[in-house]
Amino acid sequence: MSKFDEIMKRSGYSRATVSRVINRSPHVSDEARRIITEIMNELDYIPNRNAVSLSTGQTKQIGIVTAMIDELSLTFINQFMDTAMDYGFQTIVYMSRSDKQIELQAFEDLRSKRVDGLLIVTCVNDPGELKTYLQYGPMVSWQRMGNDEIPSIAMDQAQGYRLALEHLVSKGYTRIANVFGRSNSLNTKSRREAYETFMTSQGLPVWREAYQYSVFTSSDGETALRRMANGGELPQAVLCSNDYAAIGIMSEARRHNIHVPDQLAIVGFDDIELSRVLELTTIHNPIAEQAKQAFYHLWRVLGNEEHKATSLAYRLIERATT
Amino acid sequence: MSKFDEIMKRSGYSRATVSRVINRSPHVSDEARRIITEIMNELDYIPNRNAVSLSTGQTKQIGIVTAMIDELSLTFINQFMDTAMDYGFQTIVYMSRSDKQIELQAFEDLRSKRVDGLLIVTCVNDPGELKTYLQYGPMVSWQRMGNDEIPSIAMDQAQGYRLALEHLVSKGYTRIANVFGRSNSLNTKSRREAYETFMTSQGLPVWREAYQYSVFTSSDGETALRRMANGGELPQAVLCSNDYAAIGIMSEARRHNIHVPDQLAIVGFDDIELSRVLELTTIHNPIAEQAKQAFYHLWRVLGNEEHKATSLAYRLIERATT
DNA sequence: TTGTATGCGTTATCAT
DNA sequence: ATGATAACGCATACAA
């Protein structure tokens, strides 16, 4: 006999009434509530979540799909977890390690009702295939999806990039090098276009020869600076894929006795904690706000209150490197 | 009507037979299997995992409890995931961010049958309290538990530490500095004792003044070396809390023009990927094997085949820093 | 090989 | 406020 039945028996109340006190329904006499609660405690009772989920059709659980957890995604994930928890949702992480099969498990879990919804931080499967899972439950993505069918709360980085460009030019830096991440990513494409369009519009030269790709870490940044230093004329300023890269460039510049910002101005991207400490000029990426929006999106689709999607924007944070 | 019922109706077979082909029972006619499988595909059927779990009492899911995911724990977690998958188990990560309440959710999920077992990579709650959850399902811990009741597959680091000490002394280094992690952790205690016992047994002086604590990252390592350099007499060798710290010490030594290993020998701990590249002498920590053992332990308690627990050992990896 | 009946632990819809 | 009963979707012991 299950504990639930035991409670029924001992208390003398019916299945329904016991369920009511478990779920804090107001329609129970104080007497019943008292007696049943007491027995629940005696028995150390806790509902079987599989049974609850089967009955309600909801798991109150949201899956987080990500290949890996790094400092940036962690900021996002943490904020998402907090928000979800505020609304009574648990979150579980599906770390795929870029394995398509493992990643797919998360989506199959949506299909088999193990989670109510999915947050995609990073995914390796083809969005075109993943979108078929939309019929089983809501999903949002942080990563930009080429596909428009899977909703994404990603922002267009071009806006942030323009901010940096305007800042640099207004300060008199015109010979600007660009250090990108993945060469074929949507974000890189956006940034590159933003740069080329902006420079052209200002009547300034577009410096394609100075493009560098696959610069992600601070150690990549160090390498990047060395290439610049060895590559003839030094740029007046460099726009970085992210703050880590910028930090690498900054520290390597110091070793090369290149003065920042006089000889080389540096602008990062994302505005991570460290960049404040190191006084790096950067573009503030409202990650926490995006995480909230991501949850609100799921929340909305899961059939609850509306939530206005406040529009987010990048912000330039001027510090000591420009 | 559920898809399951739909399959019954369309195929004309009974509930039991349908269930049999779903679960690949051999006791079905080819005919029945063919027909039912076909209908399953037509209907795009997939079992509701809540129903399955409720019925079987098993979720085939193991929870991984960890405060944070860093490179070291990642090695462990990845291997555990692979092993678990080989045995048909899914894994989900409960990242507590050192929040006791959040961490407790994982344990409550064991209680409420959301997971079949728990792997504790790191935990912040008191082991004395956590052990009460053992009645709800199996748990293993990687982290050492002061408490003996929660099984742990952690190894005694003293063995590895002695290896390093023997190596150093045999090479003629006797003025040895120790760089530890958390000052009050069980591991630090083990190591410190191993050092003091060993030195005493060799008739060598114990150098307590050179103890440094809270050295975790490579940047901590850099600081540690600076302290040594400014602290009067340099040690002949330094034993590090982990490879990151060792790498920090190594690179900072280079900047101070301290030659390794002639002026300073360095021994790391764990044998991470990077240490091979950087030719760091270190103690190999059989993390992957520990992860397997962790799973086997759960597997055994979950009532399946026995698995001999092969005993693991640390190994000295001599490279260029000694 | 197949079918019947029952159980898993809970919620929800009606009544009363 | 309380209770009887069905429903959730599936597995399984037992019969046939």
A304: pLDDT strictly greater than 80: no
What does the pLDDT average to over B107-130? 96
Residue B70 has a pLDDT of 82
Shortest alpha-carbon distance between residue A124 and chain B (Å)? 17
| 3-state SS string for chain B | CCHHHHHHHHHCCCHHHHHHHHCCCCCCCHHHHHHHHHHHHHHCCCCCHHHHHHHHCCCCEEEEEECCCCHHHHHHHHHHHHHHHHCCCEEEEEECCCCHHHHHHHHHHHHCCCCCEEEECCCCCCHHHHHHHHHHCCEEECCCCCCCCCCECCCCHHHHHHHHHHHHHHCCCCCEEEECCCCCCHHHHHHHHHHHHHHHHCCCCCCHHHCECCCCCHHHHHHHHHHHHHCCCCCCEEECCCHHHHHHHHHHHHHCCCCCCCCCEEEEEECCHHHHHCCCEEEECCHHHHHHHHHHHHHHHCCCCCCCCCCCCCEEECCCCC
- The token duo for A307 is 């939530």
Radius of gyration of chain A (CA): 26
Contact A50 B48 (CB under 8 A): no
Q: What is the pLDDT of residue A72?
A: 84
Q: Of the given ranges (A66-75, A227-236, A242-251, A253-262), which has the lowest mean pLDDT? A: A66-75
Cβ contact A108–B47 (<8 Å):
no
Mean pLDDT of chain A: 94
Query: What pLDDT does residue A308 have?
Result: 79
Closest CA to B137 of B302, B303, B305: B302
pTM equals: 0.87
pLDDT at A60: 95
Predicted confidence at residue A289, as pLDDT, reads 95
Nucleotides on chain C that have an atom closer than 7 A to a protein CB are 1-14
In the predicted model, what is the mean pLDDT of residues B167-188? 96
By three-state DSSP, how is residue A151 classified? Answer: coil
**DSSP 8-state code for residue A259:** -
Distances (CA, A) of A244 to A143, A154, A238, B48, B252: 19, 20, 13, 44, 20
**Cβ–Cβ contacts within 10 Å for residue A160, how many?**
25
Nearest CA in chain A to B78: A97
What is the per-residue pLDDT for B163? 98
Instruction: Enter the DSSP assignment of A223.
Output: H
Nearest to A111 among B46, B97, B112 (CB): B46
Strand order in the sheet with A265-267: A176-178, A237-239, A265-267
In chain A, what's the furthest Cα-to-Cα distance? Answer: 88
Q: Is the CB of B21 under 7 A from strand C?
A: no
Name every chain B residue with its beta carbon within 8 A of the beta carbon of A92.
92-94
- Which helix (H) or strand (E) segment is A95 a member of? strand A90-95
- State yes or no: pLDDT of A145 exceeds 90: no
**Residue among A46, A78, A109 whose CB faces B111 most closely:** A46
Is the per-residue pLDDT at B218 higher than 90?
no
Cα–Cα distance, A233 to A226 (Å, whole number): 12
Over residues A87-95, the mean pLDDT reads 92
Range A32-49 burial, b when 16+ CB lie within 10 A, else e: bbebbeebbeeeebeebb
Structure confidence at residue B147 (pLDDT): 77
B222-257 confidence digits (pLDDT tens): 999 999 999 888 999 999 999 999 999 998 999 899
Average pLDDT over residues B259-275: 94
Domains and CATH numbers, chain A: 3-41 (no CATH), 60-155+287-312 (3.40.50.2300), 157-284 (3.40.50.2300)
Q: In what order do the strands lie in the sheet with B315-317?
A: B176-178, B237-239, B265-270, B281-284, B315-317
The residue of chain A with its CA nearest to that of B54 is A50
Q: What is the DSSP string of A284-310?
A: E--HHHHHHHHHHHHHHHTT------P
Rounded distance, CA B212 to CA B197, Å? 18
Taking only the tens place, the pLDDT of each residue in A179-213 is: 999 999 999 999 999 999 999 999 999 999 999 99
Looking at the DSSP bridge assignments, the partners of residue A182 are none
Rounded to whole angstroms, the distance from the CA of residue A206 to the C1' of nucleotide D12 is 72
Cβ-proximal residues to A322 (8 Å cutoff; 6+ apart), any chain: A167, A168, A171, A173, A237, A261, A265, A266, A267, A281
Percent of chain A having pLDDT more than 70? 100
Which of B6, B15, B88 has the alpha carbon at shortest distance from B45? B6
Q: 3-state DSSP call for residue A313?
A: coil
User: Quick check: B202 contacting A, CB < 8 Å?
Assistant: no
pLDDT at B148: 80
Measuring from the CA of residue B36 to each C1' atom, give the nucleotide at the shortest distance.
C2
Structure tokens given for B230: 């400014």
**The pLDDT value given to residue A84:** 94
A78 to chain B nearest CA, in Å?
Answer: 8
Distance from CA of B114 to the nearest CA of A (A): 6
pLDDT more than 90, % of chain A: 87
Q: Which of B46, B48, B50 to mutate to test the interface with A (most CBs of A within 10 A)?
A: B50
The DSSP 8-state label assigned to residue A136 in this structure reads G
The mean pLDDT of B58-76, rounded to a whole number, is 91
Q: Residue B307: what pLDDT? A: 79
* Token pair recorded at residue B35: 């027909």
Whether B93 and chain A come into contact, CB under 8 Å, resolves to: yes
Closest CA to D1 C1' — which residue?
A: A28
B59 contacts in chain A (CB < 8 Å): 50
| Band of residue B113 on the pLDDT scale cut at 50, 70, 90 | very high
Whether A306 has a pLDDT exceeding 80, the answer reads no
- Once rounded to an integer, what is the mean pLDDT over residues B44-59? 96
With a pLDDT cut of 70, the percent of chain B lying above it is 100
- Dihedral (CA of B208, B212, B216, B220) sign: negative
Name the β-bridge partners of A238. Answer: A177, A266
Please, which residues have CB within 8 angstroms of residue A34's CB and are 6 or more apart in sequence? none
Percent over 90 (pLDDT), chain B:
86
Q: Which amino acid is at B237?
A: A
- pLDDT tens digits along A115-128: 999 999 999 999 99
Strands, E, within A160-276: which ranges?
Answer: 176-178, 237-239, 265-267
